[in-house]
Amino acid sequence: MSVDHAHWARYLQAAVDDRREVTGIGAQLGAEMSLDDAYLVQDALLAARLFHGESLAGAKLGLTSKAKQQQMGVDEPGYGWVSRSSVVPGPDAEVVISELIHPRVEPEFVFVMGDDLEGDDCTADDVLDRTALVVGGIEVIDSRFEAFKFTLPDVIADNTSAARVVVGTAGIAPRDVDLREVTCTFTVDGEVTGTATGEALLGSPAECVALLVRHLARSGRGLKAGWVVPAGAPLDARPFGVGTVATASYSHFGDVTVRGV
């Protein structure tokens, strides 16, 4: 039996709209839902949002660091979409917790595209050529699945848990420094949760974005000038509730702070 992509997209959108956790799709379909199916559910979710007036502001990677892969028990990266309404201008921002289910926060390296970029042969160099700026960010993720537990197809269907992304303003031109050497320290409620460098992202943040571009090329799509592209968290995510203050401090992008309200 084939997977009903539109049905599962409605199932996930209802979880977002009603702010409630739902049972994993994998737990209901088992091996029947392939990764290709999961991306088709994600596409159906995106199509419905665009139909209802949402627009795209970018695309994202998830699960690109060992820290995140270990935390979530998944061993491959995934790709998703950044909708316009999910972008929160930084570097100091507030996010309304009651609009979400069980949010978490994580630091991000965010590429701001200067030009369109597409192609199944895209390299890290192409990414650096087409990027205007790399800035710091904090992503608020909010898996729609119970207890934030999922399989790789689940999290892909669920648009890689995307909910909000705070994008900083201080950044650097992509070739001004080796992005692998930029450090990021994450502090939540005064406690440093960890420090990592850009290298934590599959060895190279720009290579992550190239992977995303090659993935998009499979369906004839690409990145657009002006889009923001979070390359994935280099450190594990932390619970985010009312009153939580999280700051990501970068050696070259300044600080980005988000407070739960």
Rounded CA separation 49/55 (Å) = 8
Secondary structure (3-state) at 226: coil
Query: Least separation, in Å, of the C-beta of 240 and Mg ion?
Result: 13
Stretch 153-182 residues interacting with ligand OOG (CB under 6 A): 155, 160-161
Rounded CA separation 114/127 (Å) = 10
Based on the number of CB atoms within 10 Å of its own CB, is 77 exposed (0-12), middle (13-18) or buried (19 or more)? buried
Query: Least separation, in Å, of the C-beta of 141 and Mg ion?
Result: 6
Q: Is the dihedral of CA 100, 106, 107, 113 positive or negative?
A: negative
Which residues are registered as beta bridge partners of 183? Answer: 197
Q: Which of 37, 43, 126, 139 binds Mg ion (CB under 5 A)?
A: 139
CB 211 within 8 A of CB 121: no
154 binds Mg ion (CB under 5 A): no
Nearer CB in complex with ligand OOG: 75/120: 75
Instruction: Say which amino acid occupies 127.
Output: V
CB 168 within 8 A of CB 253: yes
Query: Least separation, in Å, of the C-beta of 178 and ligand OOG?
Result: 21
Site string for Mg ion, 211-240 (x = CB under 5 A): ----------------------x-------
Q: Which of 16, 138, 140, 141 binds ligand OOG (CB under 6 A)?
A: 141
Tokens for 41?
């559910």
Site string for ligand OOG, 120-139 (x = CB under 6 A): -------------------x
Exposed e or buried b for every residue in 97-126, given b needs 16+ CB within 10 A?
A: beebbbbbbbbbbbbbbeeebbeeebebeb
Q: Which of 233, 246, 248, 258 binds ligand OOG (CB under 6 A)?
A: 233
Rounded CA separation 3/26 (Å) = 11
Nearer CB in complex with ligand OOG: 70/116: 70
Stretch 88-117 residues interacting with ligand OOG (CB under 6 A): 106
Query: Least separation, in Å, of the C-beta of 97 and ligand OOG?
Result: 17
Q: Residue 155 touches which of Mg ion, ligand OOG, none (CB < 5 to 8 A by kind)?
A: ligand OOG
Nearer CB in complex with Mg ion: 6/56: 56
CB 167 within 8 A of CB 91: no
Interface residues with ligand OOG (CB under 6 A) are 62-63, 68, 72, 106, 139, 141, 143, 155, 160-161, 232-233, 237
